[in-house]
Chains A and B, each alone.
Chain A
Amino acid sequence: MNEIIEKMLTRHAIRRFQQRQVDNEILDQILTAGLYAPSAGNNQYSRIVVCQDSEINEKLGRISRYMQFKGQDPKSIAHSISSEQPSIQDDFTIMNGFYNAPTVLTIFTRDGVYAHDDGAMIGENILLAAHFLGLGACYVGRTGEVFATEYGRTLWKAWGVPEDMVPVCNVLLGYIDGPFPHEKPRREGRIVRV
């Protein structure tokens, strides 16, 4: 098997992070990987906001968790995701949906039918680059809802991100703490050959 692909298969969502901040040089490489993702019509109309302010990240992470459960009893709606790197759906005592990651990225893209594809591809390049550089990373959705709140809107403005953009996802980055997760089984029957 091709070595790059082989290594790609060992990427997993990491949610337990060391508190030490990500090395700037490594971060730059990861961001470059994101900027080289394909984009519809080569629009490249996206912004990656890199936030290393722990207070802001924690506030956003709490809102993100809220958007997952919206006041409902987590027990009634959660799915189990990971035991080694528990998500807010596995461990209901985790109150920060950004898992105290020292670096939190927010990816904004051009509004329109391709916004989510464009944003997700940037996110995936970032996850892969982080993995190849020995960092942990996790993709987090619900970003649109988080940035529709008053707090989210205030930050959006303060960060100077154009108003006509769409917040697609967050990517959490940091050095890995806790055990590296096992491969999660992939459901059968997802490939259909015709």
Chain B
Amino acid sequence: MGELMDTILYRRSIRRFDTRQISEWELEQILKAGLFAPIAGGGQRPIFVVCQDREINERLGKIKRANSHPRMATAASYVSRQQPSIADDPNIKNAFYDAPTVITMFGPKNFLFTPEDCAVAAENMMLSADALGIGSCYIGQGWPAFDDPYGQEILRQWDIPGDYYAVSQLLLGYPRPGDSHPEAKPRRAGRVIRIGQESKGR
């Protein structure tokens, strides 16, 4: 357990990447961890499209940025100083932060559990990435990256079924050399509520 807990506590969203591509063997392990996440029912419907084409990733990231309207950070309220997000730095034009690997997770539109299926898989992949020293960042709302004629063309090239939609993206890459690992973010208090504790009745 020790090591998993270390990974869970240590993992931070990384948005400043090295230009080097991640190794194939590391990518395979990360993808496998994604496939072995829990999944609702028997369908195993979601698919993960792994794109390592820098031009496509950059163009989609720019479309995503243009279609995003985050509430911009203030001195008191920000996402990350060390690994700034598009809400922290208005000069970032690529919502995928030039990550060398971008995984878009697609699932059926008419299935209640699609977002959860994708999110649990993403969490497995983020923890696996961290265990391998690879940085990752989850990008919620995947479809705005395709909401433009170029994006629509890419969906056709990728042969995405018409009844599927892009739930989210997962960015992967080695952290930028020289960056120190982001500091822990304090946890907000009062998020656990205990009911009927053992000591009372048992």
Contact = CB atoms under 8 A, between A and B. Distances in A.
Interface of A: 1-5, 7-9, 11, 13, 21, 24, 29, 31-33, 35-38, 40-42, 44-54, 56, 79-81, 113-114, 116-121, 123-125, 127-129, 132-133, 139, 141, 159-161, 168-169, 183, 186-187, 189-194
Contacts of A132: 1, 4-5
A129 B124 CA distance: 12
Interface string B129-147: 0011000001011000000
Given A128-B8, A128-B127, A129-B1, 16 more contacts: A1-B29, A33-B5, A44-B191, A48-B193, A52-B195, A52-B197, A79-B42, A123-B116, A141-B116, A159-B195, A186-B44, A191-B48, A191-B50, A192-B47, A192-B158, A194-B157
Interface stretch (B15-23, B33-41, B90-98, B172-180): B33-41
A54 B168 CA distance: 37
A194 B41 contact: no
A47 B194 CA distance: 11
Contact of B44 (A21, A33, A161, A190): A190
Given A52-B196, A124-B120, A8 B47 contact: no
Contacts of B112: 141
What range describes how many residues of B lie at the interface? 35 or more
A168 B192 CA distance: 15
A7 B140 contact: no
Q: For the complex of A and B, list the 9 residue pairs with the smallest distance between their C-beta atoms, beginning with the closest.
A: A53-B196, A120-B119, A79-B42, A120-B116, A124-B123, A124-B120, A117-B119, A132-B1, A187-B44
Contacts of B140: 40, 113-114, 117
Contacts of A141: 40, 112-113, 116
A65 to B, nearest CB: 15
Nearest to A189: B47
Contacts of A133: 1
Q: Most chain-B Cβ atoms within 10 A of its Cβ — which of A79, A116, A161?
A: A116
Nearest to A144: B112
B36 A9 contact: yes
B163 interface: no
B69 interface: no
A117 B9 CA distance: 19
A46 B13 CA distance: 19
B154 to A, nearest CB: 9
11 contacts: A8-B127, A38-B13, A46-B191, A116-B115, A117-B119, A119-B116, A129-B4, A133-B1, A186-B35, A190-B35, A192-B158
Contacts of A187: 44
B124 A8 contact: yes
A173 to B, nearest CB: 13
A121 B31 CA distance: 17
